Amino acid sequence: FCSKTNMEQKRYSSETSNVKCNEQSERAIYPLDALRQDISKVLSNISGIDHSLILNALESTNNMNKGDLILPLPKIDVADPVAVAKRWATELIACGSLGEVCARGPFLQFSFDQKYLLQSTVPSILLQKRKYGQERPRYQKKVVVEFSSPNIAKPFHAGHLRSTIIGGFLSNLYEAMGWSVTRINYLGDWGRQFGLLAVGFERYGNEKQLQKQPIQHLFEVYVKINKDLAKEENNGTSQSGIGGEARNFFKKLENGDEDATSTWNRFRSLSIHHYVQTYSRLNINFDIFSGESQVPKKSMDEALNIFYRNNFVEEKDGALVIDLTQWSKSLGKVVVRKSDGTTLYLTRDVGAAMERKKNLKFDEMVYVISSQQDLYMSQLFMILQKMNFEWAKDLKHVNFGMVQGMSTRKGNVVFLDTILDEARDKALQIMKNNKMKISQVNDPQRVADLIGISAIIIQDMKSKRINNYEFNWSRMLSFEGDTGPYLQYTHSRLRSLERSSSNFTTDMLVHADFSKLNEPPLVELVRLLAQYPDILRRAFKTQEPATIVTYLFKLCHQISSCYKKVWIAGKTSDIAIPRLAIYSASRQVLHNAMTLLGLIPVDRM
Ligand code: ARG
């Protein structure tokens, strides 16, 4: 049951009445916010129900056939919601941003007034540009996002890749929501295996190789020395030989020996230097390269002291153990210090968290780590909570599932660069099929890199984080269907449209007159654009990149169906300008969302 014509008549009379809507006194920055305000005002007027109650009960829709906003009446606790919905739908007055209202069972569905929608959405996108969709809260909060965190001298596996792109996205999202973000990379750079690496480097190390390809070279050295060690252990000589040397080196490292430390720092900083270059291909910059080796002994000692003081460590065969089952059965027991006095991954994480709280004073800290470490993270969080840190509640573990079957075409170990290179080469190969187009691209290598990266990122973010997925090169680099390259393609197509209509200035577009515009697909497109700020808020709540990816594909499908039917070429300016304004606003939203996900939109491809 809908009332539109009815409402149009009433709109006229309401303009002279004293029901004022859309005064924008509350911070109604985006069109959907204005619609929310207007609905709750007029509805509160006829029902007597508290304005803010209605405001909070309004939901955005994921299917535009259901209008732009929905009110489930059971949520505001009325008796006989079906009858009430029907009655309110007839009584409601179109007002400001509100155009149409329908009753569907116990739901009220509201739609924008078309004129309002076009007039308020399109120019504001064109003016706000990259800021469209972002939030500016009154108080800026601080978040620390820890992500990527590969292990030195070991391969950068799919788990690290997922952590990198999801963490990069989350950092951008927090920023868009007005937070100040510190991006931390917590390297796996500590442990006995690095004693082994140092011994290996003495045997197999090559200074030139180390400078050129530190990550790969250290890995190769590590593999070789591990083989030697295995042989030695078979012969039963591990105490005296490599094994012993490695233990010695690591002990020196733990005791802060200068030579050992400087060797180790060199491996570490060369690796970081190389990582920085690779991350920058992905448009990711870390504020801090921390790591297990960087946790001060002081903070771990303090942690152990608190364990003692709070009476929850016990000694077992010289080691220190916390029995977490006293708080939660499933958490088991954990060792926090070994019998030889060396610390562990977990203890370092406790110290690292304390250190970060002290230095960075975060309001929230997010760890982006695979679901394989779910139990581990619960243990860590429980310990911090039982240490009585009130900030333990501000820690979040954002997890994700596994990737099956990711390897290079040659089937060897994967390094991040190799993955990016393969994607780039494949993209370049496809680009070369269109000789005409590629001749217009300034830097085909660079563009191919960006397209390859989009393929990798979107493939990863298409479904919920927690899902496992099968890695598949050919599907990933298809230009057809819902892929990263398809998003890039849509963006570059809109860019080309803008280039070919550059006789219209931004000012003309911002002041476009939409009164003659009446193409339903274009209006639908603008309704989608108006949803974007809400999509960001939803993604922020769920911390799911898929929320944005799903939206983006909807947006791109709508753009292509407009493209087929609604033209600009050959039209007079009164028709061309409002159309172009909408296409241009769509490109902006596409650009904003792609950037948020970590893609760099291309202008030609
Ligand atoms: N380096 C670890 C790994 O590769 C991930 C580190 C996760 N972060 C942490 N604070 N524990 O598994």
Strand blocks (E) in 420-468: none
> Token pair of 46, please?
């006829």
Res 8: pLDDT? 56
Q: In this predicted model, what pLDDT tens digit does every residue of 148-169 receive, in sequence order?
A: 999 998 878 888 999 999 999 9
Cβ-contact 36, 55 below 8 angstroms: yes
Residue 3 has pLDDT above 70, yes or no: no
Q: In this predicted model, what pLDDT tens digit does every residue of 100-148 receive, in sequence order?
A: 999 999 999 999 999 999 999 999 999 999 999 999 998 999 999 999 9
Phi-psi region of 186 (alpha: psi -120 to 50; beta: other; left: phi over 0): beta
Res 384: pLDDT? 98
Res 113: pLDDT? 95
Q: In this predicted model, what pLDDT tens digit does every residue of 286-344 receive, in sequence order?
A: 999 999 999 999 999 999 999 999 999 999 999 999 999 999 999 999 999 998 887 78
Side-chain-side CA neighbours of residue 51 (13 Å):
9
| Alpha-carbon span 425 to 422, nearest angstrom | 5
Active site residue 160: yes
Is the CB–ligand 1 distance for residue 188 below 6 Å? yes
Residue 93 has pLDDT above 90, yes or no: no
| Alpha-carbon span 548 to 165, nearest angstrom | 14
Residue 15 has pLDDT above 70, yes or no: no
Q: What is the mean pLDDT of residues 183-197?
A: 92
Q: How far is the CA of 471 from the centre of ligand 1 (A)?
A: 22
Residue 9 has pLDDT above 70, yes or no: no
Side-chain-side CA neighbours of residue 395 (13 Å):
24
Res 185: pLDDT? 98
Residue 23 has pLDDT above 50, yes or no: no
- Residue 241: enclosing H or E segment and its boundaries? none
Is the CB–ligand 1 distance for residue 245 below 6 Å? no
| Alpha-carbon span 449 to 428, nearest angstrom | 8
Choosing from 10, 41, 86, 160, which is the catalytic residue?
Answer: 160
Cβ-contact 323, 374 below 8 angstroms: no
Q: How many Cβ atoms are within 10 Å of 174's Cβ, its own excluded?
A: 23
> Token pair of 140, please?
């800026």
Closest residue by Cα to residue 536 from 552, 525, 521, 524 = 552
Res 81: pLDDT? 94
pTM exceeding 0.90? yes
> Token pair of 474, please?
């050919």
Name the DSSP letter for residue 155: -
Residue with tokens 């082994």: 196
Q: In this predicted model, what pLDDT tens digit does every residue of 194-213 receive, in sequence order?
A: 899 999 999 999 999 999 98
Res 26: pLDDT? 41
Residue 22 has pLDDT above 50, yes or no: no
Q: In this predicted model, what pLDDT tens digit does every residue of 31-73 receive, in sequence order?
A: 999 999 999 999 999 999 999 999 999 999 988 889 999 999 9
Q: What is the percentage of the chain residues whose pLDDT exceeds 90?
A: 75
Closest residue by Cα to residue 275 from 285, 266, 265 = 285
Res 479: pLDDT? 65
Residue of 160, 164, 186 best suited for mutating to test ligand 1, as the one with most atoms within 8 Å of CB: 186
Nearest atom in ligand 1 to the alpha carbon of residue 373 is 12
Choosing from 10, 157, 274, 591, which is the catalytic residue?
Answer: 157
Res 255: pLDDT? 86
> Token pair of 578, please?
């409002």
> Which H, E and C letters describe 10-30, residue by residue?
HHHHHHHCCCCCCCCCCCCCC
> Token pair of 226, please?
């591990």
Is the CB–ligand 1 distance for residue 458 below 6 Å? no
Res 240: pLDDT? 60
* Residue type, position 337, single letter: R
Q: Dmax of the chain from CA atoms? A: 97
Antiparallel, parallel or unpaired: β 142-146 and 364-368 = parallel
Active site residue 591: no
Res 411: pLDDT? 54
Q: How far is the CA of 188 from the centre of ligand 1 (A)?
A: 6
Q: What is the mean pLDDT of residues 516-533?
A: 95
| Alpha-carbon span 23 to 123, nearest angstrom | 19
